[in-house]
């Protein structure tokens, strides 16, 4: 081919593995295959009625024009109120910007603060898109590995060791996608002690799974001593409010960083959807008790699913305190030969499970944890149970063959 329209930055970019697996599952289903997809991280619940009604009113009230780039003033106020109510933090509206999902908030942020060659510390396992967004912005993702033997949590000593002269930023999620791990107070204090020696590092705390916490309270690192002025909180409506399709996320942080994000957003997308903004206000101002029914359902599924997955031969599971994923280590299964096919990595394992069990999961490689797979349990228990039985049948069959 004597032409290449595609830029190098895209040629070297990996497709989002979570979305790729979801696409593959949809394609196979469209071909009539019986596929259970545990690949995509989104609540199976529909958006609560009171939020939908706010969206409908927004349409009827003709909120159909461009909004301020930052988002409507009443949305920024609602976000500030939420951050005061839930985190006890005082943000002014000029410290907040709403975007088309937390994903765009993170992209704006990376483009706004990273210079070519800047290093970003990324505790692994991490959410798939951090690495690619950092690279797109010219930064270098420095992975800090934490396996299930340390509950998938990077220690303060690891953090300290990884910091160098080029370190510009740290980004992590708690509860974590893909592991569901959550940082507790003493761990965040230890991190804070290290970070206090390096005041020029910007800390990005992705709190999108804030509400989906079962065994311990969600804590924001921004509330720890000395952290408020150097932390950017990223959050959004997708997970806790079952609003993935509305595309509404936000960030809150230092004014200069927010202003830089505003410049980028003003040139790239103008603002998030006016309708989604008005709907989000209803969700943010509502008593968090109004979404508790989803959290309760996730907890029941977490418990049942964890027990079922622990029972699968070759799966080693750390039971996660939050989010809606299980992230078993399947290293033991990666030495197998399957009807002549060698299963050498999680990618092979997931392809095999898709073919043989009709169950889609995401290989851990995409999250910086090659020996693991991610299963989303944001589905009805009957579906989850069926999925586990299918996986188990294939694996037990393999063991039976010796």
Binding stretches for ligand PMP (CB under 6 A): 41, 101-103, 127, 173, 177, 206, 208, 236, 238, 244, 249
**Does 55 help bind ligand GLU (rule: CB under 6 A)?**
no
Q: How far is CA 87 from CA 54, 91, 233, 296, in A?
A: 25, 11, 11, 21
Q: With respect to ligand GLU, which residue has the nearer C-beta, 156 or 295?
A: 295
Q: Is 364 in the site for ligand GLU (CB under 6 A)?
A: no
Choices 13-21, 88-96, 209-217, 285-293; region in contact with ligand GLU by CB under 6 A: 13-21
Tell me phi and psi for residue 141, to 5 degrees. Answer: -80, 125
| Alpha helix positions (H), 214-273 | 255-268
Nearer to ligand PMP, 176 or 309 (CB): 176
Judge residue 251's burial from the number of C-beta atoms within 10 Å of its C-beta, 0-12 exposed, 13-18 middle, 19 or more buried.
buried
Cβ atoms of residues 170 and 110 within 8 Å = no
Q: Does 106 interact with ligand GLU (rule: CB under 6 A)?
A: no
CB proximity list for 75: less than 8 A, separation 6 or greater: 98, 277, 278, 280, 281, 284
User: Which residue, 245 or 266, is less far from ligand PMP as judged by CB?
Assistant: 245
- Report yes or no: 315 and 32 within 8 Å, Cβ to Cβ: no
Stretch that binds ligand GLU, among 36-44, 191-199, 216-224, 279-287 (CB under 6 A): 36-44
Name the minimum Å distance from CB 374 to ligand GLU. 8
Of the candidate residues 16, 155, 290, 331, the single one contacting ligand GLU (CB under 6 A): 16
Q: Token digits for 136?
A: 């797109």
**CA-based nearest residue to 171, from 180, 184, 159, 161:** 159
Q: How far is the CB of 41 from ligand GLU (least distance, A)?
A: 3
In whole angstroms, the minimum distance from the beta carbon of 225 to ligand GLU comes to 31
CB atoms within 10 A of CB 44: 17
Should residue 272 be labelled a site residue for ligand GLU when binding is judged by CB under 6 A?
no
Could you say which of 70, 104, 105, 177 contacts ligand GLU (CB under 6 A)?
177
Size of the site for ligand GLU (CB under 6 A): 10
Nearest CB to ligand PMP, comparing residues 143 and 206: 206
Q: Which two tokens stand for residue 359?
A: 């169950």
Q: Considering the rule CB under 6 A, would residue 128 count as an interface residue with ligand GLU?
A: yes
Smallest gap from Cβ 290 to ligand PMP, in A, equals 19
Distance CA 163, CA 120 (A): 9
Instruction: Return the sign of the alpha-carbon dihedral for residues 269, 271, 273, 277.
Output: positive
Report the residue from 25, 37, 41, 106 that binds ligand GLU according to the rule CB under 6 A.
Answer: 41
Please provide the DSSP assignment of 150-208 as one string. Answer: GTT---HHHHHHH--TTEEEEEEESSPTTT-----HHHHHHHHHHHTT-TT-EEEEE-T
Q: Which of 38-46, 160-168, 220-228, 251-259 is the region at the interface with ligand GLU (rule: CB under 6 A)?
A: 38-46
* Residue number closest to ligand PMP, CB atom: 101
Q: Shortest distance, CB of residue 40 to ligand GLU, whole angstroms?
A: 5
Q: Binding of ligand GLU at residue 179 (CB under 6 A)?
A: no
**Which residue, 40 or 369, is less far from ligand GLU as judged by CB?**
40
How does DSSP assign 20-61, residue by residue?
HHHHHHHHHHHTT---EE--S---SSPPPHHHHHHHHHHHHT
19 makes contact, choosing from ligand GLU, ligand PMP, none, with CB < 5 to 8 Å by partner type, with ligand GLU
Is the distance from CB of 174 to CB of 183 less than 8 angstroms? yes
Q: Tell which one of 13, 19, 20, 28 touches ligand GLU (CB under 6 A).
A: 19
Q: How far is the CB of 354 from ligand PMP (least distance, A)?
A: 22
Measured between alpha carbons, how far is 233 from 176 in angstroms, rounded to an integer? 14
Least Å distance, CB 398 to ligand GLU, is 28
Query: What is the rounded distance in angstroms from the CA atom of residue 101 to the CA atom of residue 396?
Result: 41
What is the nearest approach in angstroms of ligand GLU to the Cβ of residue 104?
A: 11
What residues make contact with ligand GLU under the rule CB under 6 A? 16, 18-19, 40-42, 103, 128-129, 177
């Amino acid at each position: 081919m004597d032409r290449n329209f595609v830029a190098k930055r895209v040629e070297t970019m990996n497709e989002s593995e979570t979305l790729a697996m979801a696409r593959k599952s949809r394609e196979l289903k469209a071909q009539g295959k019986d596929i259970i997809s545990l690949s995509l991280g989104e609540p199976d619940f529909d958006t609560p009625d009171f939020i939908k009604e706010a969206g409908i009113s927004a349409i009827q009230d003709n909120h159909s024009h461009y909004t301020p780039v930052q988002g409507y003033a009443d949305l920024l106020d609602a976000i500030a109120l939420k951050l005061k109510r839930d985190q006890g933090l005082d943000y002014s509206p000029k410290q907040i910007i709403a975007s088309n999902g937390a994903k765009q908030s993170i992209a704006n942020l990376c483009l706004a603060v990273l210079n070519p060659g800047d290093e970003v510390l990324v505790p692994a396992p991490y959410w798939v898109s951090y690495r690619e967004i950092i690279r797109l912005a010219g930064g270098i993702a420095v992975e800090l590995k934490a396996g299930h033997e340390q509950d998938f949590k990077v220690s303060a000593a690891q953090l300290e060791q990884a910091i160098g002269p080029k370190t510009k930023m740290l980004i992590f999620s708690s509860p974590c996608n893909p592991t569901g791990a959550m940082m507790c107070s003493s761990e965040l204090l230890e991190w804070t002690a290290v970070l206090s020696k390096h005041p020029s590092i910007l800390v990005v705390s992705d709190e999108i799974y804030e509400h989906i916490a079962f065994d311990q309270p969600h804590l924001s690192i921004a509330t720890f001593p000395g952290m408020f002025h150097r932390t950017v909180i990223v959050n959004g409506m997708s997970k806790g409010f079952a609003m993935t399709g509305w595309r509404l996320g936000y960030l809150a942080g230092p004014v200069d960083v927010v202003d830089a994000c505003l410049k980028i957003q003003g040139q790239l997308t103008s603002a998030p959807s006016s309708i989604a903004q008005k709907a989000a206000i209803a969700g943010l101002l509502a008593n968090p008790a109004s979404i508790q029914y989803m959290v309760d359902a996730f907890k029941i599924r977490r418990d049942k699913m964890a027990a079922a997955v622990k029972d699968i031969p070759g799966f080693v599971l750390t039971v996660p305190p939050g989010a809606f994923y299980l992230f078993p280590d399947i290293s033991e299964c990666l030495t197998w030969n399957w009807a002549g096919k060698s299963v050498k990595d999680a990618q092979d394992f997931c392809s095999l499970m898709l073919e043989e069990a009709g169950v889609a999961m995401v290989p851990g490689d995409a999250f910086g944890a090659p020996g693991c797979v991610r299963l989303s349990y944001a589905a009805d228990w009957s579906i989850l149970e069926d999925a586990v039985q299918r996986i188990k049948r294939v694996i037990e069959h393999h063991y039976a063959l010796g």
